[in-house]
Structure 1
Amino acid sequence: MPTGPFVGIDVGGTGIKGAPVNLDTGGLLRERIRVPTPMPATPAAVAGVVASVLEEIPGDGPIGVTLPGVVTGGVVRTAANIDKKWIGVNAVDLFAEATGRPVTVVNDADAAGLAEVRFGAGAGRAGTVIVVTLGTGIGSALFVDGSLVPNTEFGHLHLHHGDAEDWAAELVREREGLSWEQYAHRIEQYFRLVQRLFWPNLIIVGGGASRKAEKFLPLVKVDTEVVAAALQNDAGIVGAAMLAAGHHAKAGATQRGQGVS
């Protein structure tokens, strides 16, 4: 039987982060390991880095891995902020072969959202909750009364003649040298668009920009409550481990139902 805690691995545009997770509290059981995302971020290269991260975490238990793209049935369908060679790849098989562990693969923003709704700023909140991750791109997770609607891509909503993330992602702020006031103005326009389309009760801001939320969120004025993510940039790790645990439990229940021990 696999041993050790459930581990979350968060694959981002600039870094791959991993840690074992306490699923009772949502906290990390050790300081996270971070390795730069390989360039180009091909499937083989990323799988190799994920395997190297796991070598530093004892145990052989199930892992959850996030990817910045739509994932259905373990297969990657889009690759806006990662190498295009990912499209059509069965990521579950890829990572399982590279690591020798049971693997669950999920969209990165969905994983972050699950962690925030369970342990963070969205805990106990009813109605429509949207988690927006501001980083290399803009990720999104949509919840209705605590239930996830998977694989939303609100970073690709049309805004200012293109995808919203090409105008309002954290990477754009850094690349264009925007002041916090200028960046807040862009985020405000993006959130107004999200509000008009979905009328959320709460917007939670996560991703790398959430570490500096106090610099721009107070300047954002919309008619929806907007808060910073409580788990900040660890949310993807926690959510990935949560999903790995859930899938492991379901697999165990199926085996018991079939009389397999």
Structure 2
Amino acid sequence: MDVFGVDIGGSGIKGAPVDVGRGELAEDRFKVLTPQPATPHAVADSVAEVVAHFGRPAGPVGVTFPGVVVGGTTRTAANVDGSWVGQDAAGLIGERLGAPVTVLNDADAAGLAEMRFGAGAGRRGTVLVLTFGTGIGSALFVDGTLVPNTELGHLELEGHDAETRASSRAREEEGLNWRHWARRVQRYLAHVERLFSPDLFVIGGGVSRKADKFLPLIEGVSAEIVPARLENNAGIVGAAMAAAAAAPGGAP
């Protein structure tokens, strides 16, 4: 069964049909730049452009969002326009696409995919999936069950919002080498470990493709640390999984 997934990020919006039984993209993903300013209607138009690249959606569409999402409504907005706060995102995007839409936090979507098909598959205990990109997203799982909307990228770290120090964007904007950036990530992981005592960290986002350049440099963290297997496609896959689950007769 192919279901469409779209991943809204602070810098890009990408999507593809997904084989939700296998956790794989059914076609190569298509990406457009996130509009600036990233207002609800502008982003909805970009989502429609991504979906239209593959034709009219034949079924439900899953969409990720960089912020807290409750019942399809966006409660916070990170790295997009503040007018998203209080927006019925599922209704807005669904009307634009002419299809049923499920909206969820972007890191939660990536986490769902990694826990079903990736590095967290079959793992019990406490697992934290962290996505490093424009910001830092987090998905917390306890014995395989998601605790939604944790948004741990906004914890305070050394007097700053953590993602302004340890995100992939911070590394690029400040021109940090891998060793310097790894020290920041290490301090962030140590802080999160003190709060949640996870058994496993799964490191995702676009930077997961280069995990060999920084994960071996991280020390002093007790939990196991592994790179995400689905890399930067996890959000698309997880969005499609959520849409399939929300459809009538969908799997939990």
Tell me the TM-score normalised to structure 1 length: 0.93
User: Which residue of 173, 188, 192 corresponds with 2:171?
Assistant: 173
Determine the structure 2 residue equivalent to 1:21. Answer: 18
Deviation per residue, 1:179-230 (Å, 9 max, x gap): 1000110000000001100000000000111111111011011111000000
Determine the structure 2 residue equivalent to 1:91. Answer: 89
State whether residues 61 and 100 of structure 2, in contact with CA within 8 Å, keep that contact through their aligned partners in structure 1.
yes
What SS class does the counterpart of residue 2 from structure 2 fall into? coil
Determine the structure 1 residue equivalent to 2:43. Answer: 46
Moved more, 31-40 or 4-13: 4-13
Instruction: Please state how far the C-alpha of 1:53 moved relative to its aligned partner.
Output: 1.1
Instruction: Please state how far the C-alpha of 1:153 moved relative to its aligned partner.
Output: 1.1
User: Which residue of 95, 115, 119 corresponds with 1:117?
Assistant: 115
1:11 matched to 2:8? The reply is yes
State whether residues 244 and 251 of structure 2, in contact with CA within 8 Å, keep that contact through their aligned partners in structure 1.
no
State whether residues 244 and 250 of structure 2, in contact with CA within 8 Å, keep that contact through their aligned partners in structure 1.
no
Determine the structure 2 residue equivalent to 1:157. Answer: 155
In structure 1, distance between residues paired with 2:112 and 2:230: 11
In structure 1, distance between residues paired with 2:189 and 2:250: 39
- Counterpart residue identity of residue 35, structure 2: P
What SS class does the counterpart of residue 19 from structure 1 fall into? strand
User: Which residue of 140, 143, 155 corresponds with 1:142?
Assistant: 140
Q: Aligned residue pairs: how many? A: 250
The verdict on how the C-alpha distance between 1:86 and 1:153 changes in structure 2, with shifts beyond 3 A counting, is same
1:183 matched to 2:164? The reply is no
What SS class does the counterpart of residue 178 from structure 1 fall into? coil
- Counterpart residue identity of residue 49, structure 2: S
What SS class does the counterpart of residue 151 from structure 1 fall into? coil
1:66 matched to 2:77? The reply is no
Determine the structure 2 residue equivalent to 1:256. Answer: none
The verdict on how the C-alpha distance between 1:97 and 1:183 changes in structure 2, with shifts beyond 3 A counting, is same
The verdict on how the C-alpha distance between 1:248 and 1:208 changes in structure 2, with shifts beyond 3 A counting, is same
- Structure 2 unaligned runs (5+)? none
Instruction: Please state how far the C-alpha of 1:60 moved relative to its aligned partner.
Output: 2.3
Deviation per residue, 1:57-80 (Å, 9 max, x gap): 234210000000000011101012
In structure 1, distance between residues paired with 2:250 and 2:232: 29
Instruction: Please state how far the C-alpha of 1:161 moved relative to its aligned partner.
Output: 0.5
What SS class does the counterpart of residue 183 from structure 1 fall into? helix
- Counterpart residue identity of residue 48, structure 1: D
Instruction: Please state how far the C-alpha of 1:55 moved relative to its aligned partner.
Output: 1.0
- Structure 1 unaligned runs (5+)? 254-261
Counterparts of residues 205-220 of structure 1 (less than 5 Å): 205-220=203-218
Determine the structure 1 residue equivalent to 2:130. Answer: 132
Determine the structure 1 residue equivalent to 2:196. Answer: 198
Tell me the TM-score normalised to structure 2 length: 0.97
Determine the structure 2 residue equivalent to 1:233. Answer: 232
Instruction: Please state how far the C-alpha of 1:24 moved relative to its aligned partner.
Output: 1.4
State whether residues 245 and 251 of structure 2, in contact with CA within 8 Å, keep that contact through their aligned partners in structure 1.
no
- Counterpart residue identity of residue 205, structure 2: G
User: Which residue of 54, 57, 60 corresponds with 2:54?
Assistant: 57
- Deviation >3 Å, runs of 4+: 249-253
What SS class does the counterpart of residue 247 from structure 2 fall into? helix
